[in-house]
Structure 1
Amino acid sequence: WFTDAMYRSSAALTRNIADRYGIPKDRAHIVGHVEVPGNDHTDPGPNWDWTRYMQYVNGGGGNPHTPQSICGAGYETVDSAALGTAGTVYLLYNNANGYNCVTTVKRSSVGTATPTTAYLEVQGGTRVTDSGNFAYYAGPVRAPAAGKCVKWGGKAGSFSYDSPFEHCGS
């Protein structure tokens, strides 16, 4: 039930304190009450999204989404390409099910719907594209690709990336 406003305001306070006292902004130094030995508090609780929170602590309100959170459990990044300052397009693979996933994560105009695209084409198959005006990311675009080459890419702002067929088998 944590709202985006709650994450952002708490992260702003944490960022301010860390900057003021020279505390590194990482999970080794920023912990929940439950992680302090001898404490009887369980804050912030099991539903706290630490990845999102730490992105706010470090980025001052950047994109709270990661390629893994967009594509889902089991996906690992295989490759990525910067789209200027507008974003990054990612290719991920899930060893458990043999699927690739592509997502374009915005770095500018975050929270504002702007043209963003992600696509994936498995060799011998049809290109699958997610394109539109998105606030945070395009995708996920998933397709089974075990043992096959893929062409992938995306667009954010005026920047685009188009791969050749590559990453055959992953």
Structure 2
Amino acid sequence: MSHPHYILLPANSLFIAFSLMLAFILNLFPWGLSVGVPDFVALALVFWSIHQPRKVGIGVAFIMGLLMDVHDAVYLGENALAYTLLSYFAISIHRRVLWFPPVVQSLQVFPLFLGVQLIQLAVRLLSSDSHFPGWLFFLECAVTTALWPLATWLLLAPQRRAVDKDNTRPI
């Protein structure tokens, strides 16, 4: 019990929108053919679907997926389908995940990130004459999972601050 338990402030809708926009911009960077570049949009969608399921849900995930489809120049609906299912399953496990510390949470969201990649790979393989990209293709979900504790710390930081500073208050 050495970790303090914070009473979090309500999440600001503008901050949620800003973090999703920043995740989209990070996905826009020209990483080239780098292997293991995380999917920042999927990371932000899972985080907010778990922490704020009433504000970020399947509709937001669908719109973000369509934006990523247009950017990646892939089949329209590939990322939209993957992100919609990702958000659905994140919302369905959100009560259980919040009981654990961020490192254990990352183990529980790993199947979600792996599922996104499997859906994207299945759509690509079924809709064209493309070939299996190799096992390093799945490094992306491992790197995205490794970023979960950092994303949790960064995205919950604005909610942890006290409204008014008082050194005598125990909470």
Normalised by the size of structure 1, how large is the TM-score?
A: 0.27
- Structure having greater relative contact order (Cα 8 Å, sep ≥ 6): 2
Higher share in strand: 1
Normalised by the size of structure 2, how large is the TM-score?
A: 0.27
Larger-Rg structure: 1
Higher share in helix: 2
